[in-house]
Structure 1
Amino acid sequence: MSATLERGYLRLLNFYPAEYRRDRGAEILETLMAASDGRERPAPRESASLILGALRVRAGLVGRDSRPLVLHVAALALLVHFTVMAARRVSPYSFDLSPDVLIPVAALLGAVATIATWRHRPRTAILTASLAFVLFQVTAWPMAGPSNGEFWQVPLAVLLLLPALRQSAPAPARGVLRHLPLVAVPLAGLDGWAGFGAVATVSVAALVWLAVDARVAMALGLLLLNYVLVQVSFLAETAGTGRFTDTVVSLGLAVVSPALLLISSTTVARRI
């Protein structure tokens, strides 16, 4: 057996976590060396396969049911999105003796719901998020409604959290999936074409990452359903008006990213 080839495989195995290498490293190395056919270097396909496998292990994809975790991460991202958007509404006028004082309260409750979700307390998260939603809608009435940008995050998050009431806490998110809720911060802070560009950018990145972790695209697709529901609601409101055609175009653009993310991630997840 070639010492050069063995060193090449060992360098590739270093991409795996130390614990994984201790448990299975020797077995993997033995299998690779036995199938080497006298090569002096790892084949390019072997190298790519080992690196991809290491990234999947680091993402926590080995031997776990990912559905509860995807729902948890998507709900967390939606609550972050709501909290940031509610916080953007806070102004010096929010603290006078008027209904506007409920805006910072709603933002605070949104933060509490976010923390509760992160700590796997679904009952607390659902209750505080629902209260935050009610307070925010009372404050924004009559201007707010289903076509308002702050409307759908909480209902979607609550819907995604309902299965957690009967399930144990999922395994902690790892890798890129762990940080996905942070994507909601810039998405909530950008409007118009800047917001569209941000959505397109993160969507493309998630599609590229499909080969490693399809759960990232799936959770992002669930987050972006918020934008689809806003446009559907706006379409219903503008039916029969001159803005109807523009709204249909906006709805089409809003549907593209979540549709691609959810369909592609579901397809990839079934094949792995």
Structure 2
Amino acid sequence: MTSKSKKYIKEAYSYIILILVAVILCYPLLWMFFASFKTNSEIFSEINLFPREFNFNAYRDGWKGVANNTFTRFFSNSFLLVIPTALLTVISSTLVAYGFARFEFKGKRIMFLVLLSTLMLPNSILLIPRYSIFLTLNTLDSFSPFYLMAVFACYPFFTYMLVQFIRGIPRELDESARMDGCGSFRTLISILLPLLKPALFSAGLLQFLWTYNDYFNPLIYVNSVKKFPVSLALRLTMDAETVIIWKNIMAMSCLAVLPVVILFFLCQRYFIEGIATTGLKG
């Protein structure tokens, strides 16, 4: 057997393993999709992946929502919550990271250690202080708590990630910009931001995914059904029915997954590049 044949066999084994892993990882999504065409009896009494017949009644009935609120409102609420939060997080984290990575000031090391220490705090510890603050500010039952946390860079993971990325960019670029008459802010906008594009996409995409999938925090801060995002609406749909029609839940779950999947495939090149380069330059 020639070395070329061995190479082809090795590649074939690699692809077979990758395909098997992909099938295993995608199987829950496939099951959820096909379950949206099954009745309750089919779901609980049969092991077949494919339904007896295909009809889209579950998507029509599930979209009607609950309490006179359709999933049009719930999806709109999710996007009103997630998109500003992701954008504000990227902007605030970039500014804070730029300060830590490029400027020297008194107490910088201590402040950076405090920033890192907050990464180890579980969300449950921060919940009561944050709730008290937002209650005092009278911002509960709205998306303002999420916007405020994003504006003040309360997500230290993204700040740390961007600090590591900026530290990997040569300081000579900043010095050249200053020689050309650029100030600190102009240097950030014109020189560093184009180089930060992969890391910014990674931070924005991760924040979008985490906020979109978040169930606990909207449950705490949002009380009105008409302001519920999709994550809360799916649970509310289950609680509103005496007998749960699972195909409706599965249909809406499939639609809820779509924005995340589409966004990932659109941004995956920047996302993977950002994660890889951030890890290398840290």
TM-score after normalising by structure 1:
0.30
TM-score after normalising by structure 2:
0.30
- Higher relative CO (Cα under 8 Å, sequence separation at least 6) belongs to 2
